[in-house]
């Protein structure tokens, strides 16, 4: 199963695992209902449609990893944050992939 994730995210940022291990803020951008069914331990839930209104909560973080169900919303979240001046954002893709990296 990990092979599937590895192939799916072969182009993932090579810093992702290191940033997760070093305590990056993990932000699940799925809906609250999706988040309640499971996520990465220690992650915060900021649904994509609320992200622009929660920017102050993210200011000053060393690094931020955004993730979701498929990687689509996390890609959008990364773009939104970058448009607002964040330079420390990594797209983690799926929550399962981020969870796998965190637990390795």
The pTM assigned to this predicted structure is 0.89
Residues near 35 by Cβ (< 8 Å), separated by ≥ 6?
Answer: 28, 45, 47
Beta bridge partners of 67: 28, 93
68 tagged catalytic: yes
Assign domain 2-9+18-102 to its CATH superfamily. Answer: Rhodanese-like domain (3.40.250.10)
- pLDDT tens for each residue of 22-68: 999 999 999 999 999 999 999 999 999 999 999 999 999 999 999 99
Q: How confident is the model at residue 14 (pLDDT cuts 50, 70, 90)?
A: confident
| Whole-number Å distance between alpha carbons of 65 and 87 | 12
Q: What are phi and psi of 90, to 5 degrees?
A: -120, 140
Share of the chain residues as helix, strand and coil, in percent rounded to the nearest 5: 45, 15, 40
Q: Which of 24, 25, 68, 89 is catalytic?
A: 68
Residue 1 has pLDDT above 50, yes or no: no
- Domain range list for the chain: 2-9+18-102
């Amino acid at each position: 199963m990990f092979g599937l994730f590895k192939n799916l995210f072969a182009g993932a940022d090579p810093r992702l695992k290191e940033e997760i291990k070093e305590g990056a803020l993990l932000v699940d951008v799925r809906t609250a209902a999706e988040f309640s069914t499971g996520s990465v331990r220690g992650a915060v839930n900021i649904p994509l449609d609320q992200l622009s209104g929660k920017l102050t909560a993210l200011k000053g973080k060393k690094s931020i990893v955004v993730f979701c169900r498929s990687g689509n919303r996390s890609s959008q979240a990364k773009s939104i944050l970058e448009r607002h001046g964040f330079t420390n954002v990594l797209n983690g893709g799926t929550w399962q992939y981020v969870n796998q990296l965190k637990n390795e």
